Amino acid sequence: MSFPTAETERSVTAAGVEVLGVRVPREQARTVWEEWRGRHDRTGWWPYVTLSPPSDATEWHGHEAWDADVLERWVGEAAAQDHDARAASIVVSACWWAVEEVAGVDDDFDLWRSDYDPDRLAPLLAPAVERPLRGVSHWATGTRDFFEKDWRWVNFVPARGGYEVPVLLPRVYTTWGWAGYGDRGLTPLDTSVLLRRWHEQWGAQLFFANRSYLELAVDRPPLDPRGAAQAAAELRAYCHDTVDDAVKTGDTMARSTVWSLWWD
């Protein structure tokens, strides 16, 4: 690929994954991403917005067991696994970890438990809306915290979809501090499978990834209480650092066109 810009970069991971990047003004990042996302079916390269050039994305920070064979297997499993079942297992694990943490402490345990149960959460949400809420990008095009920079990188990875990026580039972003029941942690495969489910269910696409920050552009967010409750419960299980109020999330972010997540 070629780009009409003065600053481009190419880098390759230790596992042989090629990453291309182009540096663009912050306010143009979404437009460039949308343009190349629309070309993905022809190019085979998935774009994502970030703060860093490809060399940062390909620098190896992974677990020593995550060699090329492991990553290749994960890519295959991300495409072949039962995404719904794996997503459910993440929700259950996060819920049971939280139950163990607050047992005997929380005064309203049943209400708290509804955070992870869509059937219990849905009646607490606002009625259905007619159209998606307008999502606001905090990280990709916003100016929050250390993101107050005038430039972004749009990097490209050869992938079948944005959901493969976490297994191709395991440190493109990190879910710091996530804990599940029995000391379960999240692997890049867990993230990939969850993103694949959200893509199939609601048209969620990997848009921005950097360190512990993630944004998804969502083409078909759920508009009814039950669908919004399902999305909010899964978002709560995946990123309780951001989703600390499942009802608020179900009424707002879950029904919007941008999902912004941050792990502390």
Render pLDDT for 116-141 as a digit per residue (tens, 0 to 9).
899 999 999 999 999 999 998 988 88
pLDDT tens by residue, 86-101 = 888 888 888 877 766 6
Instruction: Identify residue 193 by its one-letter amino acid code.
Output: V
What pLDDT band is residue 60 in, cutting at 50, 70 and 90?
low
CA angle, 14 then 18 then 20, to 5°: 135
What is the pLDDT, as a whole number, of residue 96?
A: 75
Query: Quick one: what percent of the chain has pLDDT higher than 90?
Result: 55
> Phi and psi of 111, rounded to 5°?
-65, -40
Comparison of pLDDT for 6 and 83, the residue scoring more: 83
What is the pLDDT, as a whole number, of residue 2?
A: 53
Among 1-15, 113-127, 147-161, the range of highest mean pLDDT: 113-127
- Look at residue 9 and tell me whether its pLDDT is greater than 80: yes
Comparison of pLDDT for 74 and 163, the residue scoring more: 163
Tokens of 27: 């306010």
- Look at residue 103 and tell me whether its pLDDT is greater than 60: no
Rounded average pLDDT over 178-192: 83
Query: Distance (Å, rounded) from C-alpha 194 to C-alpha 81?
Result: 10
- Look at residue 30 and tell me whether its pLDDT is greater than 80: yes
Query: Distance (Å, rounded) from C-alpha 12 to C-alpha 10?
Result: 7
- Look at residue 159 and tell me whether its pLDDT is greater than 70: yes
- Look at residue 83 and tell me whether its pLDDT is greater than 90: no
- Look at residue 186 and tell me whether its pLDDT is greater than 90: no
